[in-house]
Amino acid sequence: MRVGSQPLPTLVIESGWSESIDRLREEARLWLAGDNATAVIVVCWRSVANTDQVEGEVELYVLNGNGSPVLRQTEIVFPEPSPEQGRVQSIGLTRRMVLGSTISPDRDTDDPFDLRIDDLRWAAARALGFMDLVHAS
């Protein structure tokens, strides 16, 4: 996601079906090694052996205090967790992660910009249906 006239994105989402999770994680590290990206979300989908079912997970990578990429958070999309757990799942982003250096000086850079996993789950289940696939349960 590029904001304003920034030449590179501050928030990157890497999603893969055919790419391995290791490849997606390496791409996340490469994005964070540049000067602009502050967060990378990796979404990995995989089919359950010889079925029409799909599993999925989301990982959030950020830079630690030393400037090295680290995994901050992992959330399971499918199989869906209990309804109580599913309702509270989110990827914890901040205003700085989303907007980078374009934040107005009167705004708190640590304001939360949480992405709800339930919203992703809904959209993914719908998309899977178009491909004659279902989410793992």
- pLDDT number for residue 8: 78
Reported as a pLDDT band with limits 50, 70 and 90, residue 83 is confident
Going 23 to 65 to 74 to 4, the CA torsion angle's sign is: negative
Structure confidence by residue, pLDDT tens digits, 84-104: 888 899 999 998 888 877 888
**Backbone dihedral angles phi then psi of residue 100, each to the nearest 5 degrees:** 60, -135
Spatial distance between the Cα atoms of 84 and 135, rounded to a whole number of angstroms: 19
* DSSP one-letter string for 120-133: HHHHHHHHHHHTT-
Q: Which residue shows structure tokens 């209990």?
A: 82
- Per the CB < 8 A criterion, the answer to whether 95 and 108 are in contact is yes
Answer whether residue 75 is part of any domain. yes
pTM: 0.88
Q: What is the extent of the structural domain holding 60? A: 11-130
What residues have CB less than 8 Å from 7, skipping those under 6 apart? 36
Residue 2 pLDDT > 90, yes or no? no
The pLDDT tens digits for 31-81 are: 998 777 889 999 999 999 889 999 999 999 998 888 889 999 999 999 998
Among the listed residues 9, 100, 94, 13, the one whose alpha carbon sits nearest the alpha carbon of residue 59: 13
Specify the DSSP element, H or E, that contains 23. Answer: helix 21-33
Please give the Cα distance from 36 to 116 (Å, whole number): 24
What is the token pair recorded at 71? 């995994």
The answer as to whether 2 is a domain residue is no
Percent of the chain with pLDDT over 90: 54
Domain count, the chain: 1
Q: Is residue 107 part of a domain?
A: yes
